[in-house]
């Protein structure tokens, strides 16, 4: 189904993840040394699972260095449970996180949902002023140039764009754009929206509006 890269310095964890994901039909590559990831052809992967606490280079530093090279979803595996850690990771461009110790059912569900979302077939495009949302390619462009959104940032933008002029709460965004049932809190949702808005503004468009106390909307 998908080619997945698992990055964790604990060989027992990578062995377990490989067995579980391969049983679901995925092709799995393993990197126990995070530094070695920098030399891989990362564009071939459909999803990356990355531990946070690793010697030599932690997951936050690694993702910060590779995010611009990877269009695929990146999921953190982390024993850190504080929401500020999760928000920091999402701010680096990660799409989701799975807390250690994790359940196999949760792991398979989240990986499967991300993979299905990436494979989903779309059939049309939204034209919204200077912004184009290609629902087939899952790409957003402004003034004819692509905006480098992460998969989760794109999903949030697509949801808001498809409900142009309608205010959507953080709970609605979590339920409808985070189709893998992420347990990310409101701060994490806000971080994804903030990251997307910053990239859109750098592309000289600003279609997302914050509606205080209610949520966000794509300007009509």
Which strands form 139-142's sheet, in the order they lie side by side?
Answer: 125-128, 131-134, 139-142, 145-146
Q: Distance between CA atoms of 171 and 161, rounded to whole angstroms?
A: 17
- Token pair of 182, please? 């992420």
DSSP state of 103: P
Which of 147, 141, 130, 136 minimizes the C-alpha distance to 195? 147
CA distance 54 to 10: 9
Written as six digits, the tokens of 214 are 């209610």
Q: pLDDT tens digit string along 175-193?
A: 877 755 456 678 888 999 9
Q: Give every CB contact of residue 166 below 8 A, 6+ residues apart in sequence.
A: 217
Q: What local confidence, expressed as pLDDT, does residue 182 receive? A: 58
Question: Where are any strands of DSSP class E within the chain?
Answer: 3-7, 27-31, 47-51, 74-78, 96-99, 125-128, 131-134, 139-142, 145-146, 208-211, 215-218
Q: Give the helix/strand (H/E) hosting 20.
A: helix 11-23
Domains in the chain and their CATH numbers? 3-119 (3.40.50.2300), 125-218 (1.10.10.10)
pLDDT under 70 in the chain at which residues?
80-82, 119-123, 179-184
pLDDT in tens, 32-77: 999 999 998 888 898 999 999 999 999 999 999 998 888 889 999 9
What is the pLDDT at residue 217? 96
pLDDT at 181: 47
Three-class SS state of 10:
coil
């Amino acid at each position: 189904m998908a080619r997945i890269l698992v990055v964790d310095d604990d060989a027992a964890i990578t062995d377990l993840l490989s067995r579980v994901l391969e049983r679901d039909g995925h092709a799995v590559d393993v990197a126990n040394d995070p530094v070695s990831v920098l030399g891989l052809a990362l564009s071939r992967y459909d999803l990356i699972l990355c531990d946070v606490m690793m010697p030599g280079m932690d997951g936050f530093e690694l993702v910060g260095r590779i995010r611009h090279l990877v269009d695929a979803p990146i999921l953190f595996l982390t024993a850190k449970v504080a929401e500020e850690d999760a928000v920091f990771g999402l701010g680096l461009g990660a799409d989701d996180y799975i807390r250690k110790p994790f359940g196999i059912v949760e792991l398979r569900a989240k990986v499967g949902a991300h993979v299905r979302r990436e494979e989903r077939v779309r059939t049309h495009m939204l034209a919204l002023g200077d912004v184009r949302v290609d629902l087939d390619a899952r790409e957003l462009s402004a003034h004819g140039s692509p905006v480098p959104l992460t998969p989760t940032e794109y999903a949030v933008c697509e949801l808001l764009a498809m409900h142009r002029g309608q205010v959507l709460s953080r709970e609605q965004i979590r339920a409808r754009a985070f189709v893998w049932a992420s347990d990310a809190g409101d701060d994490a949702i806000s971080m994804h929206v903030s990251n997307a808005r910053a990239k859109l503004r750098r592309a000289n468009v600003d279609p997302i509006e914050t509606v205080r106390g209610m949520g966000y909307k794509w300007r009509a």
